[in-house]
Structure 1
């Protein structure tokens, strides 16, 4: 078997090489993203593993895979919204993801963003560049006095709730499919509106689906209190960014920590000179002293990166040798 790996990082390469040595599977790789131009690099491979911000929607990618008899595709992520299911079906390509890797990695980043915002770090760092150390406007808040609203209580949401609970916060949550026996961690509310109205910190942990596009919109932002924070480490399109900017500028909410953003593929993992297309929101957000934007790195820890690579390769190997895998995406 041969697997071609797209978007490999310096820390991932030794992991992939060690896996190949242990399994006897041939691998090849590139740091480039998977697209209609680079797909030719994978000719001769039985399977492809990739990780990137840009979605894999171009039919030419799937068509070329089929022509090259490459019928296995694995995304090194939990989310599958970057794949085109129509073309997977059309060209009979089996795809897999990594449903669970390191929920703690994302949860700790949520905590990091929250702590920075609670202690006014964006404003402090802006002032620091001007040698301005006036205390006015830098007063912070303590987590144990606050209510955290967790939207989506899957693996990541639940670990996030546990971390905040350990720090003494009151935890409330909303999920279309509530879990049983977690009353010791959080209390479910009947609606997103109820959670938004009561939470000092609203953190998102739901997958992106067409039905929850702009889940956090002008209406929900209007229900939040003026001291509240919004944290998004899930998917950018869950938030109506224009409505969020308006809410931040007008004091409807106190701040936002955004690890993911609409149209983030225009800037994530790129320098300014490499950003051929301009993200419509990034410049405005970066001028605000109550916002933190990180480049979709909540998952990006040594442990999570290792798990993502190994699990992706293991799933492709299972699909090749057994015809199925636990992480097979149902079409």
Structure 2
């Protein structure tokens, strides 16, 4: 199949180019993200490959259907950006990569925790300026701390395993409890109890109507003063304005995020020569106890190779007319 790959970066090309020769597909790499302004670039292709911030809303899907593009492969796990009802209406098949390297994201979440807890990001900058003072760099031990994990799918499980290895008490909340994690010593609680008892809270749940703004003014009030919040899942799990207020009152002692509610026009781009017009992320970056990375938790060689392999597998099944292993559709 001829595939138009949107929102492409160099690391996408490298991972796909290694595997494409083993498959009967031709990829055209496009740098622009997919939206109503760029969807016309899909004309003449059999399928498109999209990423997390590409638009797959009703107008875009309608245009794709008009262009006779009826196959979409997502090179990501989340699909909250897809209007599944319209996709079904237009007869568009959609597949995703349900899991690539859960360890990659879990390890990045812990990298944020360790950087914040030991202030290594600050120490790095100081030493580069020949400042070897330890003033203001006192951190805290993770051993013995209580970590709350919201969402215990593949990434959440990997995160729990790491936290247990650090000697932490691990609490978890999920609609489906893992017997494996319970055996390992993880304790499942209701969400409110988890929020009240956790000194560190890490988010590993999908973005759904029920989880949007899970961290908000009300839930923040339940947390202990000085709590650390980590988000490597989806930006809209956090209500940014409430988190900013909680940082100002020191309710939140540390914040580490790899995703951001309004990241679409910021992340995956070099804006170093521009003035950021997003006042909320500018405010977040002004806090000394906030660490932000640009949606890089997934970015390991192992994860990229798995994403490419699964995406090409999905295209193989689509072309062969097989039952789709990783299809995304409305539950009947």
TM-score normalized with structure 1 length: 0.92
Contact residue 151 and residue 206 of structure 1 kept, 8 A? yes
**Cα distance, 1:175 vs structure 2:** 0.7
Counterpart position of 1:165? 164
After the TM superposition, which residues 273-292 of structure 1 pair with which residues of structure 2 at under 5 Å, given as runs? 278-292=277-291
Aligned to 1:181: 180
What secondary structure does 1:83 align onto?
A: coil
C-alpha contact 1:201 1:228 (8 A) present in aligned 2: yes
Counterpart Cα distance in 1 of 2:274 and 2:194: 37
1:267 aligns with 266
SS class of match (2:53): coil
User: Do the aligned partners of 1:172 and 1:186 also contact (CA within 8 Å) in 2?
Assistant: no
How far the C-alpha of 1:273 sits from its partner, in A, is 6.4
Alignment partner, residue 11 of structure 1: 11
Aligned to 1:328: 327
- Deviation digits for residues 28-80 of structure 1 (CA, Å, limit 9, x no counterpart): 22222112232222222211111142433251x22232222211011111100
Measured in 2, the distance between the counterparts of 1:325 and 1:236 equals 29
Q: Which runs of 5+ in 2 are unaligned?
A: none
Indicate conservation of the 8 Å contact 1:12/1:306, yes or no. no
Rounded to whole Å, the distance in 1 between the matches of 2:93 and 2:274 is: 33
- Shift in Å, 1:152: 0.4
Q: Deviations along 1:136-163, whole A, 9 cap, x unmatched?
A: 4321112212111110000000000001
> TM-score with structure 2 length normalisation?
0.92
Q: How many angstroms does 1:94 deviate by?
A: 0.6
Instruction: Count residues in correspondence.
Output: 330
Q: 1:177 to 1:284 in 2, by over 3 A?
A: same
Partner Cα separation in structure 2 for residue 219 and residue 133 of structure 1: 41
Asked if 2 retains the 8 angstrom alpha-carbon contact of 1:123 and 1:290, the reply is no
1:109-258 to 2 correspondence within 5 Å? 109-124=108-123, 133-258=132-257
Moved more, 268-277 or 248-257: 268-277
C-alpha deviation, 1:126, in angstroms: 6.5
Structure 2 counterpart of 1:308: 307
Q: Equivalents in 2 of 1:168, 1:289: separation in Å? A: 27
Determine helix, strand or coil for the equivalent of 2:283.
helix
Q: Which secondary structure does the structure 2 equivalent of 1:262 belong to?
A: coil
Shift of the 284–14 alpha-carbon distance from structure 1 to 2, 3 Å rule, reads closer
| Cα displacement (A) at 1:128 | 5.9
SS at 1:37 equivalent:
coil
Within the alignment, does 1:50 sit opposite 2:42 as a pair? no
Q: Which moved more, 1:261-270 or 1:134-143?
A: 134-143
